[in-house]
Structure 1
Amino acid sequence: MAHRVVVVGLGGLGSAALFRLAARLGAGVVGIEQFELGHHRGASQDHSRIIRLAQLQEQYAALAGPAYKAWEEVEAEACQQIVTRTGGLVVEDRVARAGTATGTRNIEGYTAVFDRYGVAYERLDADELTARWPQFRARDGVQALYQADSGIVDAARANAVHVALARAQGAEVRTSTPVRAIRPDGDGVAVVTDAETLRADRVVVAADAWTNQVLAETGTRLPLTVLREQVTYYATPHLAEFAPSRFPVFMWHGRHNFYGFPVYGEVATKLGQHMGGEETTADGRGFEPDPVRRARYADFVAAHLPRFGGPELYSKTCLYTVPPDQGFILDTLPEHPQITVANGAGHAFKFAALIGRLLADLALGDAPSYPIDAFSITRPALTDPSFPRSFHV
């Protein structure tokens, strides 16, 4: 018996695709996860991700508004809250960034995109920032951009909701089932596990750091770099000051690019650094947090958010799997269009509910609901071996 579609990998993108496919097809859709659901070995664990309209590149700005609507559809279907609006800040420390090439990655870059899309925002200088949110310490040369729709998307809850909704539509979910190979088989695909080989009309590969392992027998190998990133939770004693209703999510562009959350998920604040982690592999990575990063985070908190900190609750690591241009991959294999590949490049979770729909479009041969040409698997960043890595760190 051939299944209609098999989804390999049930993290943020795979679980969303499973739901959207099951909603369209009902039975005959199978989701396969190599570990247990909600595991901590990949990129989609933890409580919180930032969701925002603030984007610097047109291909993401075009999807930002529709992503909010996609999350609202999932929330309505499940009667579960996934997105919490807190407002959001982009803070630029121009003194710390002096001498670095930022291109459009500055306040003006964000406002230019906001203006094109008619998004409301506020610009604040250092004094205005600290007057409104006295939790911050900011020197002259700091500027900020506030957008009220920014907030938190609950990653762990979102994945669980997507899987539950998929099951309700008739999807089958198999866990602790590594996929050893996928093989084009005529117009369909053979999906090889330790226990059996499944036949499917279509396959969606959302395996993130394991993508090239899963694709090995298709003749495709993607130039993906796996990075080990980390976040720290602080058991701040100042809970009221950092409640989601009183403190926004933020990104701080200085010498390093930090991002932070109010108290959510844990009774603690959360801080991370975007990119810059050590290169690793899906199976060779370690789980012990980097003490250099841990100290860097503590220094940032002491300088700019002293009451945000407190005893460290814990630090944890996750994986980013990144193409050379740090762009998504959402496409079918040119030689085998029955195989769809998804990669979120370490920054896709905010779009996951929408990407699930786009992957369902691709897998079923429909025109994508929104423009995704920029995420083609045949673009130079993925096909030209000399294409330079240009990670935003």
Structure 2
Amino acid sequence: MSYRAIVVGLGGLGSAALYRLAAEIGPGVLGIEQFELGHQRGASQDHSRIIRLAQHQEQYAALAAPAYKAWDEVEAESGQQIVTKTGGLVIEDRVARRGIDTGARNIEGYTAMFDRFGVGYELLDADGLTARWPQFRASGDLLALYQADSGIVDAARSNAVHIALARAHGAEVRARTPVRDVRPDGDGVAVVTDDEVLYADRVVVASDAWTNRVLAGTGASLPLTVLQEQVTYYATPHLAEFSPARFPVFMWHGEHNFYGFPVYGEVATKLGQHMGGHETTADDRTFDPDPVRRRRYDAFVDANLPRFGGPELYTKTCLYTVPPDQNFVLDALPEHPQVIVANGAGHAFKFAALIGQLLADLTLDRTPSHPIDAFRVTRPALTDPSFPRSFHV
């Protein structure tokens, strides 16, 4: 069978690309997922991701407001709520971070981008933070940045909505269909499954931890590190205090970088640590939480958010698939421009609705609607073997 476009991988980025392509092309678009839809093996499961205008790098700050607009478009067409605004905090424990090279990843880095892009914000010291949100226990040399538009994007729900909208526009979806090879074939691409060989004018590979396996037939291989990360849900008895209307999403930059959510998706709060998980592969990863990180989370909660905690509801793992510079990959392969590659570097979900449009632009040979030069596959981080890993921890 032949298609105008095939999307391989239907997590956050792939499902968004499938929807945007189907909205333009209609029938003639196919989405392929190797596991069941909504599976728990990759990076796009679970209820919640933070969405925020707060970015410390220009390439992401430029995409932040357009990402909100893209989610608005998805909500308007589907009639489904995907984004819940809670307000959001970036909290910097300056004592804990003293001597740590943070680059622009401090409060001033965020405010510089806010000022540049005309975004309103508030700065609070420890007393101001606890006066506004007494759920926190904070003192000393601590600085907090508040931005009212931050909130939650529902990951699992948005994937399902993107796939449903794609089907409504005529896309075909095949689950439980591993792709064994993607082979450039003249000006098109052959996509090999266990049952048949499919053909397409263009293919989008959004396969995250499986990217290099899918790309093997193209001769391309990206220097990607797969990390096993985890989050814990706490069955706090203090539900009203941590409702989305009364408690914001937050990032806490200290000795370790934590992020947290109000009660959402489960009757529980949620805490994670950004980066720091052990290296693994899609095949070797386990679903067993790291007890060291579990204890680290508990200690953080006890010290800084004592009523946020409670009996552990569960801890679950996921995968980050990260280039050496921890920047996205959104580009066509130079040797095979009919193959477009998408990688979210462990922090793309907040942008997923917009990235779907950008991938559609690339697939349809258009200039992307927003700047993505920083995410080219030809940049030194992906082509120079000596390029050092510089993860934003």
- TM exceeding 0.5: yes
User: The residue matched to 1:17 in structure 2 has which SS?
Assistant: helix
Describe the superposition over 1:10-40 as per-residue Cα deviations: whole angstroms up to 9, x where unpaired.
0000000000000000001000000000000
Alignment length, in residue pairs?
393
Which residue is 1:236 aligned to? 236
Which residue is 1:372 aligned to? 372
CA distance in 2 between counterparts of 1:2 and 1:267 reads 46
CA distance in 2 between counterparts of 1:256 and 1:138 reads 16
CA contact (8 A) 2:332 2:338 kept: yes
Code of the aligned partner of 1:307: R
Describe the superposition over 1:74-119 as per-residue Cα deviations: whole angstroms up to 9, x where unpaired.
0000000000000000000011111111121111111011000110
CA distance in 1 between counterparts of 2:2 and 2:150 reads 43
TM-score by length of 1: 1.00
Query: Is the aligned partner of 1:250 residue 2:258?
Result: no
CA distance in 1 between counterparts of 2:46 and 2:75 reads 19
CA distance in 1 between counterparts of 2:185 and 2:214 reads 15
CA distance in 1 between counterparts of 2:342 and 2:324 reads 15
Which residue is 1:61 aligned to? 61
Query: Is the aligned partner of 1:44 residue 2:44?
Result: yes
Q: In the TM superposition, what is the alpha-carbon distance from 1:211 to its structure 2 partner? A: 0.1
CA distance in 2 between counterparts of 1:371 and 1:30 reads 27
CA distance in 2 between counterparts of 1:392 and 1:20 reads 30
Which residue is 2:202 aligned to? 202
User: The residue matched to 2:13 in structure 1 has which SS?
Assistant: helix
User: The residue matched to 2:158 in structure 1 has which SS?
Assistant: helix
User: The residue matched to 1:114 in structure 2 has which SS?
Assistant: helix
Which residue is 1:295 aligned to? 295
Q: How does 1:182-221 map to 2 (within 5 A)?
A: 182-221=182-221
CA distance in 2 between counterparts of 1:193 and 1:103 reads 45
CA distance in 2 between counterparts of 1:323 and 1:331 reads 14
Q: Return structure 1 stretches of 4+ with deviation > 2 angstroms.
A: none
User: The residue matched to 2:176 in structure 1 has which SS?
Assistant: coil
Which residue is 1:111 aligned to? 111
Query: Is the aligned partner of 1:27 residue 2:54?
Result: no
Query: Is the aligned partner of 1:10 residue 2:25?
Result: no
CA contact (8 A) 2:57 2:104 kept: no
Query: Is the aligned partner of 1:324 residue 2:324?
Result: yes
Describe the superposition over 1:223-280 as per-residue Cα deviations: whole angstroms up to 9, x where unpaired.
0000000000000000000000000000000000000000000000000000010000
User: The residue matched to 1:120 in structure 2 has which SS?
Assistant: coil
Which residue is 1:306 aligned to? 306
User: The residue matched to 1:84 in structure 2 has which SS?
Assistant: strand
Which residue is 2:344 aligned to? 344
CA distance in 1 between counterparts of 2:59 and 2:142 reads 28
CA distance in 1 between counterparts of 2:92 and 2:277 reads 21
CA distance in 2 between counterparts of 1:179 and 1:14 reads 14
Describe the superposition over 1:198-218 as per-residue Cα deviations: whole angstroms up to 9, x where unpaired.
011110000000000000010
User: The residue matched to 1:209 in structure 2 has which SS?
Assistant: helix
Q: How does 1:54-133 map to 2 (within 5 A)?
A: 54-133=54-133
CA distance in 2 between counterparts of 1:188 and 1:252 reads 47
Q: Which runs of 5+ in 1 are unaligned?
A: none
Which residue is 1:275 aligned to? 275
User: The residue matched to 2:260 in structure 1 has which SS?
Assistant: strand
Matched-pair identity in %: 81
CA distance in 1 between counterparts of 2:57 and 2:148 reads 20
Code of the aligned partner of 1:221: S
CA distance in 1 between counterparts of 2:92 and 2:11 reads 32
CA distance in 1 between counterparts of 2:373 and 2:202 reads 21
Code of the aligned partner of 2:169: Q
CA contact (8 A) 2:92 2:142 kept: yes
Which residue is 2:382 aligned to? 382
Code of the aligned partner of 2:46: D
CA distance in 2 between counterparts of 1:204 and 1:143 reads 42
CA contact (8 A) 2:236 2:307 kept: yes
Q: In the TM superposition, what is the alpha-carbon distance from 1:343 to its structure 2 partner? A: 0.1
Which residue is 1:152 aligned to? 152
CA contact (8 A) 2:121 2:148 kept: yes
CA distance in 2 between counterparts of 1:57 and 1:340 reads 24
User: The residue matched to 1:289 in structure 2 has which SS?
Assistant: coil
Code of the aligned partner of 2:130: T
